[in-house]
Structure 1
């Protein structure tokens, strides 16, 4: 489903990550590694936020499971980004916008609808403050918003960077339910980057991936 082609990412000529030709199938994956191991860098390059050498190709079924359509993050950037949703570890949003306005913007860009947006807002118990300016949000509230945005539309893959931080236990259970539902009903794949262990409720669904020695290596 997701293929890395001669992938290399460096910072000021310092090699951060290197992945030779490598593909992962549809599923839920845990990118497990210590801080500084390249987890966030990997997700940001997949999301099209950071530049890198090589290419990343998403083979989107697009209704054709026999011959899936290849979409390159370098050559079909807009199409690729519509199929890939990303939630950062520590999200930052324009403080003058409201949470509802952010949801509306993302939903329009990702092809979502009002019913979908309402489901995620209500189930994450954000209704009481969704109309407030983002400058009034706590870090936990911003994190919840970023998770809602990541589930909007019909993405082929959702990237969650450190989804376990700044989120309370009750909200984590809701997130785990979302992951299971999205994967089961829409066959959405997930890359979950975390140095913390996941709970048993979602762990059985995960196929592990480990960043080790600057290579992406399956466990």
Structure 2
């Protein structure tokens, strides 16, 4: 599904992640670690949002730097603490991202209803609560036809009803279209009800199987 090799990520000359080799098959995978352990840095790197040294390949075909557009069309990311230009509305953002991700007809409206974003569709994001921002972030991460979706702290600020609908829906996506999901969470990942295939510990600049 996705392989990482010889990856090094540094900030201002200080190495924060070193991953000699990591290979994950399709399915649901959970990454845990304390604050500042590198979970978000890793997710943002895999999503193509941060520069790094090394190689990331999706489906034995799409290398993140060599096939940058094709790779990013297939890997989506939901921020833990999303921030958007405060004058844009949910409709503005989903329209822009939906076009970039080539969202199928009707997908945006269906996701907006599923996550309750349709209730604040035309409000500027500067007026959003943290829960509203989270719902919009999740909607954007599901647009298009991704092979891998990275969910950074999906349970944080999300109400129980919406969370239940979300996790039921992504199980359906996994079954029907073989979409894989990686998650981080400071909360009990069992609350998602997802069939987690593997758990990984992030810390001390490494990612290792959790014991």
TM-score (norm 1): 0.90
Q: CA deviation at 1:206?
A: 4.2
Distance in structure 1 (CA, Å) of the matches to 2:163 and 2:22? 31
**Counterpart of 2:83?**
92
Change (3 A) 1:196 1:206: farther
Between 208-217 and 50-59, the greater mean CA deviation after superposition? 208-217
Report the CA distance shift for 1:22/1:205 in structure 2 as closer, same or farther (over 3 A). Answer: closer
- In structure 1, runs of 5+ residues without a counterpart are 60-67
1:65 — aligned with what?
none
Instruction: Provide the residue aligned with 2:11 in structure 1.
Output: 11
Aligned to 1:131: 122
1: distance between equivalents of 2:26 and 2:12? 33
Q: Per-residue deviation at 1:58?
A: 0.8
1:200, distance to aligned residue in structure 2 (A): 4.4
Matched residue of 2:76: which SS?
strand
- CA offset at residue 203 of structure 1? 4.0
Residue 48 (structure 1) aligns with: 48
Say if 1:160 and 1:92 are closer, same or farther in 2 by CA, change over 3 A: same
Native 8 Å contact 1:180 1:202 kept in 2 = no
Residues 80-104 of structure 1 deviation map (CA, whole Å, 9 limit, x = unaligned): 1111000111111122221112111
Q: CA deviation at 1:215?
A: 2.2
TM-aligned CA distance change 1:85 to 1:23, over 3 Å: same
Kept in 1, the 8 Å contact 2:167–2:193? The answer is yes
TM-score w.r.t. the length of structure 2 is 0.93
